[in-house]
Amino acid sequence: MLAFGFAPAALAVLAKSGTAAPAAPISAIAASGWQATVASPAELAFSPISVSRQGFDAAGAATTVVETLLTTKRVRQPYPNQAQLTASSVALSDYVYSTDSIAGVTNSSAETSPRPICNWIMPHRLVVGTTLEAELVAFHRNASGGKQVACVVFSASDGVTTVTATVSAAAVSGRVGDRNAVLSYKASLDITSLAAGLITLNARVFPRIGGAASVADSALDGNEARGFSPRYFLKNTGGKSYAYVATTGNDTTGVVSTTAATAAATPFLTVLGAIDGLHAAIGATSGVDMGEIRIGNDGGTPFVLASTAATRTQKVAALTITRDPAVPRASARVSFGLAAFRPRLGGALVAPLATGALLFRDLAIVRTGALAFTGEATAQLELIFDDCSFDNAGNTATWLADSHDYHFGTGFAGIAGAVLGAATYEHRLWRGIDSQPTFAASGYSTEGWCVVGSNLASPQFTRGTRSQSGGIVAFCKLTAPPTTAVMLQLAQDADVVGFAIVQNLIEYVSATTNAVVRISGDAASGNNSHVILHHNTCAGAFEAGRWNAFYDEGATRRTSKLQSVAGNIAVAVYTKSDVFRGSSEAGADASSATGNWAFSHGVGCRDNFSQFMSANAVGQGAAQAQDYAGIGANYGGSQTARNDPLFANYQGTTVAAGPVYTAGAGGGTYTLGGASPARAMVDDPVLAFGLGGVARAAANDAAGAWAA
């Protein structure tokens, strides 16, 4: 273990408890927000500074929050004078915002609290009655007290009347299909008072610290469908219209009925016949919004999804295709791919809706060829898969054409090529996904936009041409990361503002070394702001499974700021800036390669555990390590001897002197043994539950993804 100037436990608690502190020992806060001026600075003095901060309470009302930050690392001079300290500058344990005040101190901070990183994680375009279920995940750098944000205020409106519900704490969602515990903000809104028809759902997410500009608001901020933007539902308390599909059916005589038994008695032969039947029966009134197609026993040959001949009237809600409740999923199968499936949904949409919608629920999907689900150029199709199995059968072509998809509880098989990756059309949500392809050194391209509660083998998260700002990878088990590509890269060639990597297991198993997370890494050109790494558990050994985090080296100067790195168990943490630029790259601009100095000085970093050192030990002017690892850190001090967190059953990569690497078997258990040094080290928890759904301690919580 490397114990380099870490705060005593009592001071670490003080830093986050909000306990009143003596008069500040500093005179000014710099524009960076993390450097303070001290007349006679001392190294790691841990002097308390009481900060009054604008914030919000559990109801979303403005309030003042008093917190105590600490002075930590003396700020050094840049390369080539890295061994010398500045005359009067010291780093703080976290950022001071422009909206904060400190008695007797000039606050010149130019930084403001960022908006929470949040997104919806429930199906939309549904028919609802008197209750609307709303659910989202939200993360923020000022998480505290087991809460990422202060509260979420949900609102549902019919355009005239609005109802609201306020949720002040995240809880384990419990949704069927989640592979791991998903911590969400969830509300059941009573919409009895709202008129029938289009219902618009929005939410405002209030950070614990920040002013009005720091509130995320889906009604104002959302400018893309995949992002935190309004969601739409159809209120209709009338009954559905059913059409059944069976091998004994007949498309000419099939019956549509609001009574399921009546429709089941006279089924259609094909899915196309059922769609045509529904449209003929209800298209003039509700459109296909109120239609549900039920798939019977396929008799060994899946029912083919065939294209329709004309535009189908759809107003708000998705047309639903599901299984006959009397038939097991393995026998209720539909297929696509030998021909494109073009359902031509989206005629007569209610403004502001501009896309068709199709919901597959509790079905087996079988792909039989390379062709795709196809929407319309002017009414692209939203595909929602809820609790389905999906056999891609080894096809490598995308299954999206003028369409975008959302997956809830999908079990994938036959994944090949880049079918899960970011391309022209969007995989907008992966929730509760299980995808376990055979390991590939380059991994399997997976769109890394909003990925929660999933188990993925060998993912290589991609963005295509879209921004990563606002992305989320949380509550996942990510096993066998690739070795010739980095699993998760941020801000390599484009700026990123807001990305949450929260409570994941990352199990590296190869003897070939590679990073698993790269943030503005080697030779990158992108800046990053408000990247969150909270409570991740990483298995690996030294260079095998390391983080390349918040670099400023290479030919392009860049910045990393407002990071929050808390409660993680890392393999090894690498960072590079001016010293690496000057000593290893001989860059004439080395003295200006300081854009990551907040991270290098441990700002926003607390209670992190690493199993190995980086190429250099943490210390003043280290070429590939932080100058200071942050409050409460426990970092490994060797490249080959593990600082052991005492996992229950470690099955990742191992390393011996040399270094010589040995592949791991994978499938380990990464809860912590009773004597683990990673237990009880997070004095102010940032999450309420662990990856297994067990409640975390209210204080002195365990690092990593599992509650102690």
List of the chain residues with pLDDT < 50 = 1-18
The H or E element containing residue 405 is strand 403-408
Residue 224 pLDDT: 87
SS3 598: helix
Containing structural domain, residue 81: 9-107
Q: Where are the beta strands (DSSP E) in 27-130?
A: 28-29, 35-37, 48-56, 62-76, 85-92, 106-107, 117-120, 127-128
**For residues 619 and 707, what is the distance between their CA atoms, to the nearest angstrom?**
31
Kindly tell me the number of DSSP H helices and DSSP E strands found in the chain.
6, 56
Matching residue, tokens 């950022």: 95
Residue 351: how many CB atoms within 10 A of its CB? Answer: 6
**For residues 350 and 500, what is the distance between their CA atoms, to the nearest angstrom?**
34
Under 8 Å between Cβ of 42 and 51: no
pTM comes to: 0.97
- Classify residue 16: in a domain, yes or no: yes
In sequence order, the 6+-apart residues with CB closer than 8 A to the CB of 81 are none
Residue 22 pLDDT: 60
The size of the chain, in residues, is 708
Question: Per residue in 503-526, pLDDT tens?
Answer: 999 999 999 999 999 999 999 999
SS3 422: coil
Residue 230 pLDDT: 97
Question: Per residue in 385-404, pLDDT tens?
Answer: 999 999 999 999 999 999 99
Choose among 654, 621, 629: nearest CA to 573: 629
Distances (CA, A) of 538 to 9, 124, 461, 506, 571: 25, 34, 17, 5, 6
Encoded tokens for 440:
């590939």
In sequence order, the 6+-apart residues with CB closer than 8 A to the CB of 416 are 392, 394, 395, 396, 437
Residue 309 pLDDT: 83
**For residues 484 and 443, what is the distance between their CA atoms, to the nearest angstrom?**
8
**For residues 99 and 664, what is the distance between their CA atoms, to the nearest angstrom?**
49
- Classify residue 687: in a domain, yes or no: no
Number of structural domains the chain divides into: 1
- Classify residue 95: in a domain, yes or no: yes
DSSP H helices, 134-250, are 218-221
- Classify residue 19: in a domain, yes or no: yes
**For residues 142 and 15, what is the distance between their CA atoms, to the nearest angstrom?**
13
Ramachandran region, residue 604 (left: φ > 0; alpha: ψ -120 to 50; beta: rest): left
Q: Where are the beta strands (DSSP E) in 540-604?
A: 544-549, 560-561, 564-566, 569-570, 573-574
- Classify residue 66: in a domain, yes or no: yes
**For residues 450 and 521, what is the distance between their CA atoms, to the nearest angstrom?**
22
The dihedral of CA 221, 224, 228, 234: what is its sign? positive
The dihedral of CA 616, 619, 620, 624: what is its sign? positive
**For residues 73 and 89, what is the distance between their CA atoms, to the nearest angstrom?**
9
In sequence order, the 6+-apart residues with CB closer than 8 A to the CB of 232 are 124, 125, 198, 199, 200, 201, 316, 353
Question: Per residue in 585-621, pLDDT tens?
Answer: 999 999 999 999 999 999 999 999 999 999 999 988 8
- Classify residue 20: in a domain, yes or no: yes
Residue 10 pLDDT: 41
Matching residue, tokens 């499936």: 341
Residue 657: how many CB atoms within 10 A of its CB? Answer: 9
Under 8 Å between Cβ of 60 and 166: yes
Phi, psi of 569 (to 5 degrees): -110, 105
Residue 55 pLDDT: 98
Encoded tokens for 584:
């290893």
**For residues 170 and 184, what is the distance between their CA atoms, to the nearest angstrom?**
5
With 0-12 / 13-18 / 19 or more C-beta atoms within 10 angstroms meaning exposed / middle / buried, residue 160 is exposed
- Classify residue 85: in a domain, yes or no: yes
Matching residue, tokens 């109801």: 59
Residue 5 pLDDT: 43
- Classify residue 700: in a domain, yes or no: no
Choose among 392, 399, 395: nearest CA to 375: 399
Encoded tokens for 1:
């273990």
